[in-house]
A and B are shown apart, each in its own frame.
Chain A
Amino acid sequence: NAGVTQTPKFQVLKTGQSMTLQCAQDMNHNSMYWYRQDPGMGLRLIYYSASEGTTDKGEVPNGYNVSRLNKREFSLRLESAAPSQTSVYFCASSEKGWGDGYTFGSGTRLTVV
C-alpha cells in the first residue's frame, strides 16, 4: 500500500521561482491537507480540502495556492518563492476528517535561496 505519495522529496529554488508540490493518496480518503513544519513550531496548516471540489485556507495560506484535481490528488503551488518558505512540507489525508487521524506523506524538503 502506497498511502500518501509526495513529489519531489527535495527541491532548491531561487527567490521568485515557482513550483508545484504534488500529493496523491490511494486510500479513497475524502479530506486532504497541506502542512509546513519548521523547527520548534510544530506543524501549521496551509490549506485543506474537505472533499473533492472544495478547498479552504488554513493558518498560513499567504504565498500559496492549491488545487484539488480529483479525489486522489491535491497539489500545492508556490507562485513566487521566498526564503521564508524554506520548510518541510507535508501532505496528509483523512477518510472522514473527524476522529480519523491523518495519514501523512514522507514530506518535501524545500530550500529557497
Chain B
Amino acid sequence: AQSVTQLGSHVSVSEGALVLLRCNYSSSVPPYLFWYVQYPNQGLQLLLKYTSAATLVKGINGFEAEFKKSETSFHLTKPSAHMSDAAEYFCAVSDPGTNAGKSTFGDGTTLTVKP
C-alpha cells in the first residue's frame, strides 16, 4: 500500500530564508507524487506534481521539488520565503494504474514565516 510521511508538523522560517518541507513516500511501483498548499479556510491547491518525467519539478509561487528514488523522497523547497507562503502543505502519493488515481495524503506541515 502506498503511504506518505511528512517530517515535521510545524516548520518556522524567517522571511527571505530557505524553505524546506520534507516528504518521504512508500510505494510498490514508481509513484506519482504531488504537493498541495492550503490557506486558512480554503481548499487545497496543487503546487506541483511528479509523473516520471524530469526529477526536478518546478511549480507555482517559486516552489520546486526533487524526486529522489534512492531516498524515496520528494522534498519541497523555495529559495526565499515570503510572508504569503505561510500555509499548510500536503504531500500526496498516487500509484499509477490505481483505480481512479486515488491519492494518499500526508498529515501536513504548517509553515510559519517570521518577519
Contacts of B90 in A (CB 8 A): 42-43
Q: Name A45's contact: one of B42, B51, B97, B102 (CB within 8 Å).
A: B102
CB atoms of A49 and B100 under 8 A apart = yes
Shortest distance in angstroms between B49's beta carbon and chain A's nearest beta carbon? 5
Interface 1/0s, chain B 71-115, versus A by CB < 8 A? Answer: 000000000000000000010001011111111111110000000
B45 at the interface (CB under 8 A from A): yes
A56 to B102, CA, bound (A): 11
28 A–B contacts from the bound complex (CB under 8 Å): A33-B100, A35-B105, A40-B9, A40-B107, A42-B107, A44-B105, A45-B104, A48-B102, A50-B99, A50-B100, A58-B102, A94-B101, A97-B99, A97-B100, A97-B101, A98-B32, A98-B94, A98-B98, A99-B49, A99-B51, A99-B101, A100-B49, A100-B101, A101-B34, A102-B46, A103-B46, A107-B42, A107-B43
Interface 1/0s, chain A 48-62, versus B by CB < 8 A? Answer: 111100001010000
How many chain B residues sit at the interface, stated as a range, is 20 to 34
A44 to B49, CA, bound (A): 20
CB atoms of B102 and A33 under 8 A apart = yes
A103 to B44, CA, bound (A): 8
